[in-house]
Amino acid sequence: MKLRLSGTGISLSQFSNFASAAVLAIGLLGVTGCASKNYVRSQTTPLINQTNDLDAKTAADHRAIGDTDARAQQGIAGAQSAADVAGQHATAAGQAATAAGQNAQDAYNRVDTLAGVVANLDNYKPVSDVSVTFAFDKAVLTPADKKQLDGFAAALDSTRGYLLEVTGGTDSIGDAQYNYQLSQKRADAVVNYLATKYNVPPHKFYLIGIGKDRQIATDKTSAGRARNRRVEVKLMTNMGPTSTPSSTNSGAQ
C-alpha cells in the first residue's frame, strides 16, 4: 500500500528513501570533513615545527651576533684607548725633548769673542780645528760636513779641560742683520750635531756669529764666497801634559 503525501505527489516510501539518503550524505560529509582536517593537520604540523625551530635558531644567531659585536666594540674601544694613551705619552715625550733642546740652546755660551769672557784665555792652546761650508742661504750639514766633524770629534774624549770655539760666517751677499742670524744658525747646526752625537755638554761651546765681518776669501768669485759660508770649530785646552788647570769661568771645564 502506498501512501502519498498530501499536495506533493510523493509517496511515503519515497520520502523515507529521500530522508535516509540525506542522513547518509550528512554523515559522509562529516566523515569527509574530519578526514580533511586530519590530513591538513598532518601536513602542516611538520611545517609549523620547522618554522618554530628556524625562529629559535634565528633568535640564537642574533644573540650570538650581538654578543660578538659587543665584544668587538669593547675590543675596539680598548685598542683606541690604548692608542690614545700611547699618543699622549708620545706627545709628552716630544714636548719634553723640545723643552730639553730649548734648555740646551739657552745653555750655550753665545759671545762676540772669547777674549774677556774666558779667564786666562792665553793659557788655552789649540789642539785641532775643522771648517765646514754651507750652500748659499742654507744652514744644513751635508754628509761630507758630518764626516769632517766626526773626524774632529774623535779627539774630544782624550782632551781634558777643553772648550770649543764655534764661529759661523757668511758671504757678503744680502742684508747684514740677516747674515748675522744666518751665521748663528750655521753655528747652531754644528753645535747641535756635536752635542747630540758625542754628548758634548752645552757649557763647553762658545758660539760666535760673525756674519760677513770676517772674510777668509774674496767675495768676488763663487769659490771665495763658498769658503766664506763656513763654520770654524777650534778645540782648545788649558791642560798640558804636566800642567794644572788654569782658573776659568764655569764655561771652560
Q: Which segment of 12-21, 42-51, 58-67, 219-228 scores lowest on mean pLDDT? A: 12-21
- Give the span between the Cα atoms of 111 and 117, in whole angstroms: 8
Q: What is the model's pLDDT at position 68?
A: 76
- Give the span between the Cα atoms of 214 and 229, in whole angstroms: 11
Q: Which segment of 11-15, 58-62, 140-144, 167-171 scores lowest on mean pLDDT? A: 11-15
142: closest CA among 76, 190, 101? 190
pLDDT one-digit tens code per residue, 17-35: 655 655 555 555 555 555 5
Task: Give rounded-to-5 percent helix, strand, coil for the chain.
Answer: 55, 15, 30
Cα three-residue angle 88-91-92, rounded to 5 degrees: 85
Whether residue 53 is predicted with pLDDT greater than 60 in this model: the reply is yes
Whether residue 242 is predicted with pLDDT greater than 50 in this model: the reply is no
- Give the span between the Cα atoms of 245 and 251, in whole angstroms: 13
Domain ranges of the chain: 1-107, 110-237
The model's pTM: 0.53
Pick the more confident residue, 84 or 198. Answer: 198
Mean pLDDT, the chain, rounded, equals 75
- Give the span between the Cα atoms of 88 and 46, in whole angstroms: 62
Q: What is the mean pLDDT of residues 239-245?
A: 52
pLDDT one-digit tens code per residue, 159-191: 999 999 998 888 788 888 898 899 899 999 999
Q: Say which CATH superfamily domain 110-237 falls into.
A: OmpA-like domain (3.30.1330.60)
Sequence-ordered strand ranges (E) for the chain: 109-110, 125-133, 162-169, 205-211, 230-237
